[in-house]
Structure 1
């Protein structure tokens, strides 16, 4: 939102505003409605390495090269029209990094009165960000994989499995006790796979009653049941070209398992209440804390 200026009963004397701006650590430059430099504080002079007396009264477009002036002119047009509310860009000045932000300034009647440019020194912030990234990469290279950290011998096969699984597009089943990090592994596989630029959709099969699970997974058509006032895409359609993570898959009822098998084998689904096949390109990662081999033998899965 652009800044607003207006007279109020508690307004300070104009000289007080000047004093406040003058002592600020951020560089402040204000250009009036005619795009002429009307104010520049000491911090702006220091940051930009210029003297205010050489720029006050000059048009913004005259103090830049033709290439930069064209971009500035376009930005000012958008400020006036209200299409752009702010613009931010980082610059490097004598080895320090500054974030330059520009805002349109409007009076209480929403009339455009000028543009304010604020420069902030973000050198330390950028240094810490880069240092954090370097340390993160060092930790991951020595003790982790795919944003997961672990030094114990038991974790090394897990990291190797994640790397191998991420390189292929096969259906994956993760097994292990509750709380052992199956969802973290699923997310790591997805984020390092060829599908990483598309959605990872999670479904907790144990959290949904049987009557809702099919509609949640495969969607429904308008009028499929009471309250279905419009068609709705299911999780499989939402995960198209991405990954769907079926947590607690052993809790899925047999009727839904049959439809899941069709999605696996034929890459198609049918919405609840519909009769048309919808093609979906989805990788499935499932997880359970139960022994599915025994469940199959007992014909409960």
Structure 2
């Protein structure tokens, strides 16, 4: 039975060098879920031998890599989303790999029509090979995006930790996930957000989105960081003790001041009493001196006229 040359070439390409040498290989997941509007990364790796066993040619380098949708071999003019031999401007399909081992593909802002089975093909100076298994990319609307927490209670003690995970019908392992707190974008990326050494600054409503525009945003998950009771007690005790000590020292200072005032007042009263006593003693002494003087004068005045009266009297009698 004769076979069409084109059909034969297709079969040979499908079989590829893999039929002769298992070192020709492309590895990627069987299927991949992408949320519409999000950016996803499809992991991929490839290997090839250094010598082509069937032809004996030395495989020195990879000369071309191609990603194509819904085609078994990505050969020749097959429509593709990436071709290293063609310059593609403003493409949503970005090749993150190289010409050595990595064949990772990134899909930016996925659309519904991007759902397909994608295959990778690489061509060397010794032959070409396509990973015929391919990876099925499914595109969903992402309406069921949710935030799940590693703790059941929304209140976490200060200094504790919590992990928030963005979940949906798709696996988020390779999706670009953006996180927000109270509507403000956080620097952290990825499907899981790890928060440790929590403080009151971590309190807020957390949401996740599958694109930077925030169109596919989850419902908020509220986190409240409660202050540690021991730390709160210590924080309260310090000012209380300070106030008690301040009041004690004020009372002590007031008591010392009052005693000093009392001692000064008492000393002043003693001095005043001494001054009064001294004045009274001085007045008493002055009165005694005056009295004796007057008495002395009275005695002299009475004795002076005595002889005169006697003389007169004697004259009359005679």
TM-score normalised by L of structure 2:
0.25
Q: Relative contact order (C-alpha < 8 Å, sep 6+): which is higher?
A: 2
Greater share of residues in helix: 1
